[in-house]
Amino acid sequence: MWLEPKLIGEDEGGRLGIMPGWWALASDGTPFSGPYPTEEAAIVSIGKRDFSQPTGRPGEAGPPPEE
């Protein structure tokens, strides 16, 4: 899966039902993990891709790693 960092603002975050901040987005534009405080933090987390990644949605765990 291909991911890229993107800054999601208040308006877009409200529309998507996620918190604003830096997010790792899937190639189709779907928020995959976040929010992160900086673009650098998002890039590092994209590289790590483990269970500790936040989803930005209350009550949801991070995504499983790829095998």
Domain annotation covers residue 18? yes
- Phi, psi torsion values for 21, nearest 5 degrees: 145, -175
Q: What is the pTM of this model?
A: 0.68
Residues spanned by the domain of 9: 3-48
Domain count, the chain: 1
The residues facing 26 across adjacent strands are 3
Mean pLDDT of 36-60: 74
| pLDDT 10s digits, 2-31 | 889 999 999 999 998 999 999 999 888 889
Domain annotation covers residue 26? yes
Domain annotation covers residue 20? yes
Domain annotation covers residue 16? yes
Domain annotation covers residue 19? yes
Domain annotation covers residue 33? yes
Domain annotation covers residue 36? yes
Domain annotation covers residue 65? no
